Amino acid sequence: MNLRQGRHSQISALGFWMLLSGVGKHLASSWCCRRPASALSLLTVSFLAVRTLCSGDRGAFMCGNSASSMAKPVIVPAKGSHTASLIFLHGLGDTGHGWASGLEEVVRSAGLHHVKIVCPTAPTIPVTLNMGFRMPAWFDITSLSFDEDQDQDRITESSKLLNNLIDEEEKSGIPSNRIVIGGFSQGGAIALYTALTTERQLGGVLALSTWLPLHTKFPGAFVGSRRDYPVLQCHGDSDPVVNMQYGVMTSTLLKEQFCSNHTFRQYPGLGHSSCPPEMKDSADFLVKVLPSASSKN
């Protein structure tokens, strides 16, 4: 699969960060925020981070963890008996807090009181495309071409961090087939990469506005047999950061070579963000793949 077919116009580092973080919602009414404040509503994003960037204060993103460690994940405990887990990774410049409350409402509104939510925060590293500003990132980004200069070392390291979180859930008594991994943008990329390079029978994968990183390493990097657990991949058709054709080509590769149970959904007018229909589809997916013990009987 050649991802070079997608071409992007050049944008400033500040503009790129605004797109990735969802602040661009305020500049174009058709965009919605990437953080789901609720299943059916959108979160208003503060301009504080933009003002910080414009003032040149790189230290604002230097809070927390270094490139060799990860801050303590945000945990939303199950409201009932804990029998399943969702581990969800945020996008560039965000934190685990950015998704935790929204995902909690999505999960609880779907009646999934047995599901624990784990939202880790990425290590804080310099991001090349953002003029070296330090911010939470699962790996460095040097350009909007996802074929070139991919940060293989940090991608594999972040995958190890995700695997460690899965291990922790298993140690607490949750089998891997009751664990869904997922993420938005960079976070979704790590989730997809981990799913293909780890021989675990997961409960499923939820991948939003994302792509498969290091795609040229496949099928060589693929571990195990063809995956039969469900994968839901969602993408906006107006995404200016991760062009939807990257999502489509990733979907095609997964369906043809690696995943027997893959669904790709696209959302008209949606940019690099989330929207209520996508959150509804995500909730329906989780209900299907992580049912309660009572609903399985």
CA-CA distances (angstroms) from residue 204 to 1, 14, 36?
A: 23, 35, 20
Mean pLDDT lowest among 209-218, 230-239, 274-283: 209-218
Q: Is the pLDDT of residue 148 over 70?
A: no
Pull the structure tokens for residue 194.
């981990």
- What's at 217, amino acid-wise? K
Which pLDDT belongs to residue 152? 86
Confidence of residue 70 (pLDDT cuts 50, 70, 90): low
- What's at 130, amino acid-wise? N
Q: What whole-number percentage of the chain has pLDDT above 90?
A: 59
Confidence of residue 69 (pLDDT cuts 50, 70, 90): low
Mean pLDDT lowest among 59-68, 143-152, 176-185: 59-68
Active site residue: 239, 262, 281, 282, which one? 239
Q: Is the pLDDT of residue 183 over 60?
A: yes
Q: Is 82 a catalytic residue?
A: no
Q: Is 172 a catalytic residue?
A: no
CB atoms within 10 A of CB 13: 15
In this predicted model, what pLDDT tens digit does every residue of 250-268 receive, in sequence order? 999 899 888 889 999 999 9
Q: Is 239 a catalytic residue?
A: yes
CB atoms within 10 A of CB 59: 10
In this predicted model, what pLDDT tens digit does every residue of 215-245 receive, in sequence order? 767 665 666 667 789 999 999 999 999 999 9
Q: Cis (ω within 30 of 0) for the bond into 219?
A: yes
Active site residue: 21, 185, 209, 273, which one? 185
Which pLDDT belongs to residue 147? 64
Rounded Cα gap, residues 254 and 100, in angstroms: 28
Which pLDDT belongs to residue 19? 47
DSSP summary character for residue 177: G
Can you tell me the mean pLDDT for 95-99? 95
Rounded Cα gap, residues 232 and 265, in angstroms: 8
Q: Is the pLDDT of residue 29 over 70?
A: no
For residue 227, which of 186, 202, 260, 262 has the smallest C-alpha distance? 260
Active site residue: 272, 273, 281, 282, which one? 272
Which pLDDT belongs to residue 219? 61
Q: Is the pLDDT of residue 99 over 50?
A: yes
Which pLDDT belongs to residue 143? 78
Q: Mean of the per-residue pLDDT values for the chain?
A: 79
Which pLDDT belongs to residue 220? 56
Instruction: Please give the residue that has the higher pLDDT: either 91 or 13.
Output: 91
Q: What whole-number percentage of the chain has pLDDT above 70?
A: 70
